Amino acid sequence: MNQLEKKDLQLGYIPLLDCTAILWAQHQGYFDQQGLNVTLVKEASWASLRDRMAFGLLDVTHCLSAMLPAAATGDDHLGIPLQTSQVLSTTRAFISLSQQLCYELNISPTDTPTDSARKITQAMQQGKKIQLAHVFKQSIHHYCLREWLALGNTELAQNYRLSTLPPPYMVEAIAARLIDGFCVGEPWNIQAQIQGYSQIIAESRQIIPEVADKVLATTQEWAVQHPNTLSAVKKAIQQAQHDLTHLDRLDEVWRMLEASEIIRFNCSDHLHVESFYKIQNIIRSFGVQKAPQVDHFKWIVQQMSKWENLELSTAEVEQIAQQCMGIAIE
């Protein structure tokens, strides 16, 4: 084993299902086996996680993929370069609308994304106030909502003002009628649906390509200074991902997620059965992942250009995508 440049690490995460491999690596002692002393730090929002990583308070983080090109372009107002070499999840978000709104607009789970988008945008054009939220400006959730609205009305999709809320607060916000719908990762869509506040009406994979959603990220400076440590972190998480793919049962993983307050509702193979198996399948999907792809980051940068009015050349898009993966540009 190569000598570790640093053994005591602060690893940040947001409570979502797609941090499962990180939590499982800690639970199983895989970080310890790599010679690492990892402290997991639960962050309240993506903004706080990004800032604490950028300024060195967190070493490594569970991170939105779109945060990396935002840092490369300075669109995050920090401009501290970030990079990744490990994918934690690909496109697995969902769009949920309040059950009241679905009833009023006759929106059904059997509607296609185009059908539901047309019903929503037509209602908006007729003056109905509908407030939708995503988790962060630079996220595939944001772009998924924009692309979905564009299926109904391109101009409205471009100009519509979306709210931003940390993932764990989506359920509270829709319960309090502060928002009418949201795009977020699990388990928050399922929790809101089980509790009777909202209805899942579309999956992100129906609307946008399959690209990296969450990644393991560091600042580029940290990655350069700690290559062996970063490799050890990756190996521990890859071992956990292997488990998620190959474990016969996920009972212990489920108990861990409940103890970590990621799953906060009763759900089992005899209660809310369909939701239970849906969550199980999603957890399985966070198993062994392909390496990050330049094309994924190119798509994200193109979305930033499309929806955030960034003017970038083809060469600049390519360069930013490669920088997100720590590829040196000659």
Strands (E), 14-126: 37-42, 60-64, 82-90, 94-98
The CATH number assigned to the domain with range 94-206 reads: 3.40.190.10
Per-residue pLDDT at 328: 53
Nearest to 138 by CA among 214, 203, 48, 75: 75
Q: What is the domain partition of the chain in residue ranges?
A: 8-91+211-264+274-323, 94-206
Q: Are 147 and 208 in contact (CB under 8 A)?
A: yes
Place of tokens 């929790």: 191
Q: What class has domain 8-91+211-264+274-323?
A: alpha beta
> How distant, in Å, are the alpha carbons of 135, 158, 162, 310, 320 from that of 306?
19, 9, 16, 7, 16
Average pLDDT, the chain: 95
Q: What confidence category does residue 308 fall into, taking pLDDT thresholds of 50, 70 and 90?
A: confident
Please give the model's pTM, rounded to 2 decimal places.
Answer: 0.95
Residue 8 corresponds to which tokens in the numbers above? 């005591």
Q: Are 195 and 106 in contact (CB under 8 A)?
A: no
43/25 Cα distance (integer angstroms) = 18
Same fold, 8-91+211-264+274-323 and 94-206: yes
Residue 280 corresponds to which tokens in the numbers above? 């199980």
Which tens digit of pLDDT belongs to each residue from 30-55?
A: 999 999 999 999 998 999 999 999 99
Q: How many CA atoms lie within 13 A of 301 on its CB side?
A: 25
Which tens digit of pLDDT belongs to each residue from 46-92?
A: 999 999 999 999 999 999 999 999 998 887 778 889 999 999 999 99
58/197 Cα distance (integer angstroms) = 35
Confidence check: pLDDT of 329 > 70: no
Confidence check: pLDDT of 327 > 70: yes
Per-residue pLDDT at 330: 40
232/37 Cα distance (integer angstroms) = 11
Which element (helix H / strand E) includes 319?
Answer: helix 314-323
3-state secondary structure of 193: helix
Which element (helix H / strand E) includes 73?
Answer: helix 67-73
Per-residue pLDDT at 1: 56
What mean pLDDT is predicted for residues 99-126?
97
Per-residue pLDDT at 199: 98
Q: Find all residues with CB under 8 Å of 55, minimum gap 6, and list them.
A: 80
Which tens digit of pLDDT belongs to each residue from 282-291?
A: 999 999 999 9
Which tens digit of pLDDT belongs to each residue from 184-243?
A: 999 999 999 999 999 999 999 999 999 999 999 999 999 999 999 999 999 999 999 999
Per-residue pLDDT at 76: 75
